[in-house]
Structure 1
């Protein structure tokens, strides 16, 4: 279904629409997992709100909103922040806003890949303008040079060696366009390396004491990247404290390299690369790498410091237990018709699976309370139990709903869990200390009935129960019964609940777990969030919405 266009005279203020874009990638409250680059979330037409803000009395509010969203640490796709910043930087209507955007680049674009992405977006916007521009102004050069030259020489060397390029751009491309100038000998040596390579950098700065440290570091990285010996490469990686991003293609399948890398990776990176390591044969049943992985992912101090969310751990478990991500449609078709064989990864290592379930339990301790009152109502019919969550094919829709419920139970004081029944809802009393498996088992035993998205609000109003956030977890939101479309009206129900209970900020979240289809939405309703599918970001998206951040 084609996505609706929001006009500039939308009833929602442009500041609100910009916040919505920053958190969910759209100027209305609807979140869908997936590849936002592929689905063209980063086109200037997606953020008409910035154009409206530019025309207002206080155009700098756009930068303030981007900064606040960044500081919230609840934006799950930071590319939206970078794109919105690039739009502000490349617009031509307000000079103050453009300069403020360039001044903010260093704050928002913390990592080299974020910085390169900003350059890509800025170039893309300039070339797609009605009057395309291929040059770069003084503001852009100043921002770029400040990003490079504000770093310590060794940090600069680490940036340019760790990420040579991303998104079709390299540091060499950017430096050639921006012409950074500095009196710092060590920084000059790094820039020389970027433009002309190690040989020329050593030729000009090899005898300069000030450049000794950075030249030595760059030599170490180059030695590692050109190493052909697997055992030596593993030793060099440990010796020089290098990262996954330094590993060249010809070393990516080397067991010794991964063995050395495991203790250097944070837990998030470990979880996201677990199946990759397993497929490379690194995680053999009795190998040393298995013990290293177990020690790392079960480190409760690291889990707390990184604030690993249970959703990421659970998705990792389900994918790992099924030996990787779900097969794509093409692969399924090929397997059924026997056109080609599909390589099946080795079976998961039991010790790692057991450790992952411990990690899941530990991760609940990192959840932070919002102090709000929640009611979550989950459809537990057979379709929910059997259908995979969209974009998360190894997790059932019911399991995803139960995970959201358990996260709330573990972190919040006031949470009511219910299921839909024939004429109302059925409240379910759950032990917050129970495991996810126990929660799912008990929820499956509860009575079920027809889904009506109004029921939780009507029930709460009748019982005079106060809730700040209602969450409905269902399979789809436009289900048909026979030839009739479901006639419930949750928008009307939440409005009436707010009025009856005197809770003007009460919100409704509808999670349609098994569908990618857009649902009709009202541009003037800021109190309803719709989520299609599930991924590790969904609980944090709900949290940000509950906290009224968008």
Structure 2
């Protein structure tokens, strides 16, 4: 093997990766020389990948602080509104797997001294914090960042608007589905924000939060004899519907028979959070919930529903319903289902047990196949370019770390899944794996994600040499238009730097090849030269990554 490697390396000459090639290079966490990611790209990486669990070389705490400094640098450079726009775009378009990094970035902007940045942050609060869980997390982060200095006028007004802009029905569902998170309750928020509702349906919900259902019903009882115009009649009708829903929620709490809970679910569209714990092992209850269950909740509860045998029979209506939903691209897009969350659900469901507790199930093959289809469907605008690709997957030791805090999805597994999006889209693609040596990777468009990941597990890990894909293509005279390297950029092994290998490949093959570095962790490094317009650095698990890649290859960006 050493002889083959030396033969390959002889095709290129340059600067060892453990030494700087140019003055603008920096040393990475592994001791190799690379480039710093620009602040805007670092922000995007952080929002997509977070810093949960850190990487093989640096810890979570250090990465979090580094990314916070990146945001503050942009604000100091007058780019605070640009940061907020990025936060809103990534959140609204569902381009991130988890909301916490986005909320952290928004809280930094909201608590900054720059007035324009602060105003922009509070302006998008509704767009980013779509459910109470997000709002509570945002408020907690703001408290920590400001160290208990209190609620200013802008902060209070933004929170007031969050509650007041929702219809009575929307607010009633939100406050009963998410009663408390992160040590916060709605009563805490109302006390601090001093919210005064101008519309009766909203006021009825706020009264319910503070005083309970009985007082809310008494204070907002409909006067049948009062004269009402059309607008008042509409408001009174919605208030009555809100109180009826809240009554159903309270009745479900006190119910002793599952038939009663089923009736309330079917009539008032109650959700899992409204169901008392003692009924959450009932097949009838879950059958009723499934009919109107939101996509995210359905994916999260596939294991539970299989464990109680609701999804065990492959010929059942429930299995057909679940598979149809998972394979509906429009439904996935509407629910903002992120590809990483589908991958996580697939890996968890396939395992037959949860990460915590004693929940076990026998996986249903139809559902596993549907989850596989859902993974590809959850990416945005995947269209072929008809270019020649080499997909190079880093399988070095540092890629064994889990990403997004997921106990069963490593960076190398995630990169395998990402690469399959291109394999399924582009007819002319070569796939290889590398660490300190090249390893053939036999995957094809017909393979399921589980098969690809199992193939990856057979590959031994080693040190990192990100120049090997270009050297391999040059050595074997393989014509390539686009190299995509999936890596954490902790490259250090090798006698030539990746950019030098690419440039020598371009010169000797007479092909203006492009290099895309798909960063699988949120470190601040890239092997892509920022001064080379033929190189692009992107965050790995951005759901819009295939679209960005295509636009770059076709020369649109």
TM-score by length of 2: 0.71
**1:242-257 alignment runs, 5 A limit:** 242-257=270-285
**Contact 2:519 2:537 (C-alpha < 8 Å) held by counterparts:** yes
**Deviation, structure 1 residue 49:** 2.4
**Deviation, structure 1 residue 366:** 5.3
**Deviation, structure 1 residue 347:** 5.1
**Contact 2:484 2:516 (C-alpha < 8 Å) held by counterparts:** yes
**Deviation, structure 1 residue 234:** 1.9
For residues 210-233 of structure 1, give each alpha carbon's deviation from its aligned partner in whole angstroms, at most 9, with x where no partner exists.
232221121111112222212211
**Contact 1:25 1:41 (C-alpha < 8 Å) held by counterparts:** no
What secondary structure does 1:506 align onto? Answer: strand
1:508 to 507, 517, 521: 517
Distance 1:509 1:61 in 2: 23
What secondary structure does 2:210 align onto? Answer: helix
Distance 1:435 1:269 in 2: 24
Distance 2:284 2:278 in 1: 13
Distance 2:370 2:296 in 1: 15
Structure 2 residue 462 is the aligned partner of structure 1 residue 455: no
Distance 1:55 1:422 in 2: 41
Aligned match of 2:116: 96
Structure 2 residue runs of 5 or longer lacking an equivalent are: 1-27, 30-34, 224-232
What secondary structure does 1:298 align onto? Answer: helix
Distance 1:137 1:495, change over 3 A: farther
For residues 417-437 of structure 1, give each alpha carbon's deviation from its aligned partner in whole angstroms, at most 9, with x where no partner exists.
235699867586x65345557
Aligned match of 2:322: 296
Computed over aligned residues only, the root mean square deviation of the Cα atoms, in angstroms, reads 4.7
**Contact 2:265 2:289 (C-alpha < 8 Å) held by counterparts:** yes
Aligned positions, number: 491
**Contact 1:325 1:393 (C-alpha < 8 Å) held by counterparts:** no
For residues 47-103 of structure 1, give each alpha carbon's deviation from its aligned partner in whole angstroms, at most 9, with x where no partner exists.
1123223322454222223233334432222222222111111122x2222122111
Aligned match of 1:196: 211
**Contact 2:435 2:465 (C-alpha < 8 Å) held by counterparts:** no
Aligned match of 2:96: 75
Q: Which moved more, 1:254-263 or 1:358-367?
A: 358-367
For residues 385-425 of structure 1, give each alpha carbon's deviation from its aligned partner in whole angstroms, at most 9, with x where no partner exists.
xx997876667998766544332122345533235699867
**Contact 1:271 1:316 (C-alpha < 8 Å) held by counterparts:** yes
**Contact 2:47 2:102 (C-alpha < 8 Å) held by counterparts:** yes
Distance 1:120 1:467, change over 3 A: farther
**Deviation, structure 1 residue 510:** 6.4
Distance 1:446 1:46, change over 3 A: closer
**Deviation, structure 1 residue 275:** 1.9
Aligned match of 2:349: 320
For residues 169-197 of structure 1, give each alpha carbon's deviation from its aligned partner in whole angstroms, at most 9, with x where no partner exists.
11111111111123322221111111111
**Deviation, structure 1 residue 118:** 1.5
**Contact 1:23 1:75 (C-alpha < 8 Å) held by counterparts:** yes
Distance 2:138 2:170 in 1: 20
Q: Which moved more, 1:295-304 or 1:167-176?
A: 295-304
**Contact 1:369 1:412 (C-alpha < 8 Å) held by counterparts:** no
**1:20-419 alignment runs, 5 A limit:** 20-25=45-50, 39=60, 46-92=67-113, 94-127=114-147, 132-133=148-149, 135-207=150-222, 210=236, 211-279=239-307, 281-283=308-310, 285=312, 291-299=317-325, 302-307=328-333, 315-325=344-354, 348=362, 352-361=364-373, 364-365=376-377, 367=379, 368-369=381-382, 374-378=389-393, 402-412=416-426, 414-419=428-433
**Contact 1:364 1:407 (C-alpha < 8 Å) held by counterparts:** yes
What secondary structure does 1:264 align onto? Answer: coil
**1:487-502 alignment runs, 5 A limit:** 487=494, 491-493=498-500, 496=503, 500=507
Distance 1:362 1:356 in 2: 10
Distance 2:352 2:471 in 1: 44
Q: Which moved more, 1:198-207 or 1:252-261?
A: 252-261
Q: Which moved more, 1:227-236 or 1:436-445?
A: 436-445
Distance 1:452 1:13, change over 3 A: closer
TM-score by length of 1: 0.72
Distance 1:98 1:424, change over 3 A: closer
Aligned match of 2:3: none
What secondary structure does 2:98 align onto? Answer: coil
**Deviation, structure 1 residue 361:** 4.2
**Contact 1:297 1:356 (C-alpha < 8 Å) held by counterparts:** no
Structure 1 residue runs of 5 or longer lacking an equivalent are: 5-9, 328-342, 479-484, 513-517, 532-536
**Deviation, structure 1 residue 15:** 3.5
**Contact 1:424 1:455 (C-alpha < 8 Å) held by counterparts:** yes
**Contact 2:506 2:513 (C-alpha < 8 Å) held by counterparts:** yes
